[in-house]
Amino acid sequence: MNGYLYVGVPGMGTGMDAVISKKKFDVYINLGSFLVDVKSVKLEKMYEKFVKYKNVYHNFVGDQNLLNDIAFGKIGYYPFKFGLASPYYSDKDSDNPPKDNIFSFIKNIKYKEIFTFIPKDEKELINKGYSPFVIHQWNGKWMYGLGLTIYRRLAQYYIRYAGIWNEMCKTFPGYCKK
């Protein structure tokens, strides 16, 4: 982790103003998948800091903003292949891609000379979406039968492989949608 408390894929908050530190987020990670240096986090008493400022951010990514703000300067990146969200919200979008996409933030990412695996532009980032190691599917939750079918099919494979198909389909029928 190269001395960072947290590492994750770059998030859309890069360049926004941080409320607590009063700085611009020069490094900002998405909390859909990230790594934690647990020993260092405990030594720095990060939990206590999160509790102290828990009511500062009031939006749908408040937890993400809070972590990035509290741990300002102690956050690094890892490659998008370990947590890339799909650029498309649905199968229909993948057939007819919208002109604007969620990856326009890539131009705001700093320190590309340090994190050499950061794509240079939106096109390169979208291309990485075709071969991720970890899929961060926030655009449409599989448990509701939403999102891209290709990723839901992969999830279905692992649900069957784990031997929990029947109980999963009963509790969350969307996972089993054909």
pLDDT digits (tens, 9 = 90+) for 39-85: 999 999 999 999 999 999 998 889 999 999 999 999 999 988 887 77
Residue 100 has pLDDT above 60, yes or no: yes
Contacts of residue 84, Cβ cutoff 8 Å, sequence gap at least 6: 9, 128, 129, 132, 134, 135, 136
Q: Which residue has the higher pLDDT, 137 or 159?
A: 159
Mean pLDDT, the chain, rounded, equals 86
CA dihedral angle for residue 76, residue 34, residue 43, residue 66, rounded to 10 degrees: 80
Pairing of strands 75-77, 6-10: parallel
Residue 25 has pLDDT above 90, yes or no: yes
Nearest C-alpha neighbor of 74 from the set 23, 149, 125: 23
What's the whole-model pTM score? Answer: 0.72
CB 5 within 8 A of CB 71: yes
